[in-house]
Chain A
Amino acid sequence: MSNLKILVCAKRVVDANVRVRTKDDYSDVEIEHCKMSLNPFDENAIEEAVKLKEKSLVNEIVAVSIGSEKCVDILRVALARGADRAIHVNSIDRLDSITIAKILKKIVQKEQPDIILMGKQAIDDDANQVGQMLAGMLDYPQGTFISKLEIGTNNDVNVTREIENGTETINIQLPAVLTADLHLNEPRFIKLPQLMLAKKKPIESINLDEINITVKDTGRVIKVIDGKITKQCKMLTNIDEIIDVLKQKKVI
């Protein structure tokens, strides 16, 4: 039996079902009144940690979220999903990826988890950076975009990663950073008693200025535009017309 400790990351993001709009002056997106949720990939990360705990391979799951006070709501969700306790790093929302990674590094140094399990990407900026950055800073091995995780017997894990045209399997010594693909698992529905239980679990709050890092702006959003392109769809009435299109496009 292993007694692993897992740190799971929980980012608060605009819900996947919301269609985000730009502000009138295009300076940024308007998310003030949007429904916010736990990043879907982080749901997979937490689900995996919980499954390992149910198999007695893990004995503690700590969730961490960085951002405004409202991240506490997201941490409650993580606790309801099965994390044992949570850490909220209180800061402005939307720090640069490199700053998030630096903060996580400090949390890792304090908590000493065996596995840092996070999403492969956050669905707001679709950056896909923080896990690899953190691993690089810590000089930990990384298993990115994983769709399968197996705990080994020698303080190691085997992970299957999603790559072009298939998968690859690698063996990693712990401690390590792992990032979840959506295919890792199917997050379960939260039941009411779990939500009640989550209210009793502890959330530690740390202010960003208590963490000794330099925050740097590596860039800025200049403007945003609606990314939606709407086409004039020409409705066809039969298969021959599809054939005509294919001929016209020199496909056949």
Chain B
Amino acid sequence: MKALVITNKINNKFNPSLLNLFTVIKKIAGNSNYEAKTDVLVIGYELNNIVADIAKYQVVNKVLVIDNPALDHILAENIAHQIAKIVGNYTHVLINADSFGKNLLPRIAGILELGQISEIVSVVSPNIFKKFTYAGNILSEIESFEDIKLLTVRSNNFEQDEILANQSCEIVHLEYTNPVSSKIKFISRNVEDKLVNLDSAKIVVTGGISLESKENFDNIIRQLANKLNAAVGASRAAVEAGFAPNDCQVGQTGTTVAPDVYFAIGISGAVQHIAGMKDSKTVIAINTDSTAPIFEYADYGLIGDLFDIVPKLIQKI
């Protein structure tokens, strides 16, 4: 086994999912005689600080760096060819299943005509992985026949291991050889800096269409989230209604979360929503309807009107 983890820079730090990916590598190495060391490929621009940080982790064998202004905003077209050449040296290539990884890895798979297993949530053996299908209704165990296993990983399904950070390993700066595509140009990014990110939050407070307006959503869901230092989530129905932005959507087609505590407030519990939150450790549901499916996935439930309950809860915290 020889593993490569591909990562990027977010807010001047390395993508925090890297530490979860290290855990995945350890699981792949498992009880076999494989060495649980991995190479890390970091791509982007002005990476010096984060490269040094990554090199400290004991699980890292070698850090490969492609640092170039053309990769300030990473477009898959501007790096996929070069990475496609690198992955040939490895048996396992892992990337976080975020918008960066989901956009990039399948393009590399296409160039190499290799299969990929998307959004793995568990490792059975070096060739066998589990992933959810059918909106989380089914957990499938999939064997890869490929010599190079391309995997995107739902990082928040894996703990961050206690990984020692006190070594310093080899750092290899690679020349940027990928042609810069004239066919695609980055124009702008419109992101909100959040105090707590949804996908890695320890606590998530989610509201649904029953909030009735953006104002209510802000006054009730956001207030409670602020009080608890939690991330804000929303059902698709609430997003469509304009109560919360798209990136708050939890579910099959939104973000997948696995926090310690998940508040589902006025959420019915449609399968597509459950798909995004069912790995939450403790779920607390508040709903007027005692038969709402969300209670089947909740650890604690309170039947009642959110407009009555939540403001009082906020006051008492």
A and B interact physically: yes
Cβ B134 vs Cβ A171 within 8 A: no
Cβ A222 vs Cβ B110 within 8 A: no
Q: Mark A133-161, 1 if CB is under 8 A from B, else 0.
A: 11111001110110100000000001001
CB A38 to nearest CB in B, in angstroms, measures 16
Enumerate chain A residues within 8 angstroms of B185, measured Cβ to Cβ. 170-172
Enumerate chain A residues within 8 angstroms of B140, measured Cβ to Cβ. 221, 223-224
Cβ B144 vs Cβ A219 within 8 A: yes
Cβ B298 vs Cβ A136 within 8 A: no
Q: Contacts A136-B80, A137-B110, A144-B102; is A124 near B312 (CB within 8 Å)?
A: no
CB A186 to nearest CB in B, in angstroms, measures 8
Q: Contacts A133-B106, A164-B99, A222-B128; is A231 near B189 (CB within 8 Å)?
A: no
CB A145 to nearest CB in B, in angstroms, measures 7
CB B203 to nearest CB in A, in angstroms, measures 6
Cβ B188 vs Cβ A169 within 8 A: yes
Tally of contact residues, B, Cβ under 8 A: 92
Stretch at the interface among A50-58, A176-184, A192-200: A176-184
Cβ B187 vs Cβ A162 within 8 A: no
Q: Does A60 contact B (CB under 8 A)?
A: no
Cβ A96 vs Cβ B133 within 8 A: no
Q: Contacts A129-B116, A233-B300, A245-B284; is A173 near B183 (CB within 8 Å)?
A: yes
CB A62 to nearest CB in B, in angstroms, measures 21
Interface size class of A (residues with CB under 8 A): 35 or more
Chain B, residue nearest A222 (CB)? B141
CB-contact partner of B299 in A130, A163, A234, under 8 A: A234
Q: Does B163 contact A (CB under 8 A)?
A: no
Enumerate chain B residues within 8 angstroms of A140, measured Cβ to Cβ. 183
16 interchain pairs (CB within 8 A)? A19-B271, A98-B116, A131-B106, A145-B99, A145-B102, A162-B246, A170-B186, A173-B182, A219-B115, A219-B146, A220-B143, A224-B139, A224-B140, A226-B138, A227-B138, A233-B295
Interface residues, chain B, with chain A CB atoms under 8 Å away: 73, 75-77, 80, 98-99, 102-111, 113-119, 128, 131-146, 181-194, 197-199, 203, 228, 236, 239-240, 245-247, 252-253, 255, 260-261, 271-272, 278, 282-285, 295-303, 309, 312-313, 316-317
Q: Lowest 4 CB-CB distances: which A-B pairs, in order? A: A218-B115, A136-B110, A133-B110, A166-B191
| Other A-B pairs beyond A125-B133, A126-B133, 9, CB < 8 Å | A29-B133, A96-B115, A129-B106, A133-B116, A137-B110, A181-B253, A218-B144, A243-B317, A245-B300
